[in-house]
Structure 1
Amino acid sequence: MPPEPEKRAVILAAVWSVIADRGIAALSFRHVAAAAGVSVGLVQHYFGSKDNLVRASAATMIDGSALRFAEPPADPRAELRRLIAHSVPATPGSRRGVGVWYAYIAASVADPELAALLRAAKRGQERSAAELIAAAAPGIEAGSAARRLVALADGLTARVVTGDLEPAEAVAAIDAALADLG
């Protein structure tokens, strides 16, 4: 068994696995405990309710994504492309992660606290994109350009997830939009 501070992380990773394999509706303390290799009581101890488990796992996913973009960029344009295109699922692992993210979006319809977490994450992505646009393409209205790019990536990601586009097609559309920035 991992040390005490790592148990929570193991449980949260198990939540993602359960959601990816079974869907968020099938999420239960029992399924998470089995996936994590811990007792149901330990999962209940850390999280108390299924809603808390979902919110904590979403917050952890968001924090992990934010850490990937925490370093100051050497090349703002390249970092902007990475920030905007990262949601397009190009590998089986990223496809699972995007599937979990969409499960959180669906669950947020009935969970205002989860919805607030997801809104804050998207606002953070837009702010980061606006900062990168301001650095990479001075003279562009960065806030509205950032919103358009994030919305474009979100829409393209949904089309990739449903099989309407290949990941390379989605990334090509993002690259074209980035080229239009000048």
Structure 2
Amino acid sequence: MGESPADLVAPRPVLSHEVIHAGKVFDLVGDVVDLGESQVLREYVAHPGAVAVIALDDDDQVLLLSQYRHPVRSVLWEPPAGLRDVPDEELVLAAARELAEEADLVAGAWWRLVDFYTTPGGSDERIRIFLARDLRPVADGDRFTRTDEEAAMVPQWVPLDDAVDAALSGRLHSPTAVTGVLAAAAARARGWSTLEPA
């Protein structure tokens, strides 16, 4: 039996790079890439990356938030999450900021849960999901004022096993929710031994 598979960072030479469209949050770019046997044009979304938080309370309930996502014309249940849009901000600090802003929560314990690319054939977006525990509310005077789609978010605490059932039955479609709750359940099944301190 061979070794366990592991992704390998192995960039190919980029012969040219063009910003096709500069957007507010991310850009559409085109690279001419030398694959050795051929040169190909690959267009993709250049994305700043994001973080997400699986917040678990003392009863192993996970916090999910409903949020309208216009590209898919749906209200999705998602964990607190957000863009890496503060220059040089550590990932765990970005996650803590998003947890406070979107869920009015502060966590006393943080671990790296899982990393993934959302759509590696069409975007370079990478998301790190953290597990947060030892939760307490943000003080009333320090709460963030949510706007736009975030203003309508509804929080719901869901038993982790029920969230896993929702992911496996196709009732959840957000990649951070599906990946996060399955990763949390797998980590719990291993006695949390796979977690890395943040």
Q: TM-score, normalised by structure 1?
A: 0.26
Q: TM-score, normalised by structure 2?
A: 0.24
